[in-house]
Amino acid sequence: MSIRVGGVVIDANDLDGLAGFWSRLLERDVTRREDDWISLGTGLALQRVPEPGTAKNRIHLDLVTDDFPGAVARAAALGATPVGEMHENLWQVWRDPEGNEFCICVS
């Protein structure tokens, strides 16, 4: 028997709005859409949940880029907000429009 990660799922109250954010940020097309589920290619999906996020994520995405200034500018333009300053000149924590945390990292 083997167990493997099939993908990462992000909870969303505004499913279409948050899927639009992640789709534009990562330049991924919607590949599957249901009432409470949107897939953005292989390995990443969003699901509608009724409750708002109330605490810091225990798991998060590390997004790697070779253009850190461009990546943070795009994230901000799409509605993400930084959480503090850049760390070790390598990574910075951000929140998507619903407060889900992720890091933008220098490759």
Q: What are the structural domain ranges in the chain? A: 7-49, 59-107
Architecture of domain 7-49: 2-Layer Sandwich (3.30)
| Phi, psi (degrees; rounded to nearest 5) at 52 | -75, 155
pLDDT tens per residue across all 107 residues of the chain: 999 999 999 999 999 999 999 999 999 999 999 999 999 999 999 999 988 877 778 889 999 999 999 999 999 999 999 998 999 999 999 999 999 999 999 98
Residue range 59-107 forms a domain whose CATH class is alpha beta
What are the CA-CA distances from residue 88 to residues 57, 82, 94 (Å)? 21, 16, 16
